[in-house]
Structure 1
Amino acid sequence: MENQLIIEKLNRLERLIVDSTKEILNVEDLINYTGYKRSYIYKLVHNNIIPFSKPNGKTLFFEKSEIDNWLLQNKSQSISQIENKAHDYINNSRKK
């Protein structure tokens, strides 16, 4: 039982290493990359929420850099970042 668990973890690590070098992902790769469920990915595609390509009209492909940008959109700023922007704005306003 313990050996099987170790083998499964090694297989997952191998998939993650191989997938990290890919620039174009299929649905299975995207599942491993994001941790999203298959049904959620299909929902995102159906609603045109996630960037995808469908060159042959059937198979879905995702550009990794576009997925990264999509995942990082609507980023929230920390309090210190907001404070720094406020200080910069005040300092620039005084110089004018």
Structure 2
Amino acid sequence: MTNRQDNLSKEFLTIVEAAKYLSISESALYKKTSNKEIPYYVPGGKKIYILKGDLDNWVLSGKVNPVSEINLETERYLSRNSKIQMSC
């Protein structure tokens, strides 16, 4: 099994492994942990471990909606609010 495949099968990753998993630098990942942007664990108070699922959730939390989805949400919002105002 290659190192990349091994990282994919692990539940907890080190900073080095997590940075490779996210394709970012280790220093960028350290900054995100120090800013509490990504949850992490420090058993014994020394080495940082990150749950792979937390990395996936962090990536998914940065979703940028396409204009078509934003327009649809806007139309739904305006439609709901116009019905509420008409009933008053």
Q: If the length of structure 2 is used for normalisation, what is the TM-score?
A: 0.74
Larger RCO: 1 or 2 (CA < 8 Å, sep 6+): 2
- Tell me the CA shift for residue 95 of structure 1: 5.0
Residues 74/34 of structure 1: CA separation in 2 closer, same or farther (3 Å cut): closer
C-alpha distance 44-89 of structure 1, shift in aligned 2 (>3 A): closer
Counting only pairs closer than 5 Å after superposition, residues 27-66 of structure 1 correspond to structure 2 as 27-66=15-54
| Residue correspondences, number | 84
Aligned-pair Cα RMSD in Å: 2.1
- TM-score under structure 1 length normalisation: 0.69
Tell me, which stretches of 5 or more residues in structure 2 are unaligned? none
Q: For structure 1, list consecutive stretches of 5 or more residues without a partner in the other structure.
A: 1-12
Moved over 6 A (4+): none
Q: Measured at CA, do residues 78 and 58 of structure 1 come closer, stay the same or move farther in structure 2, by a change above 3 Å?
A: same
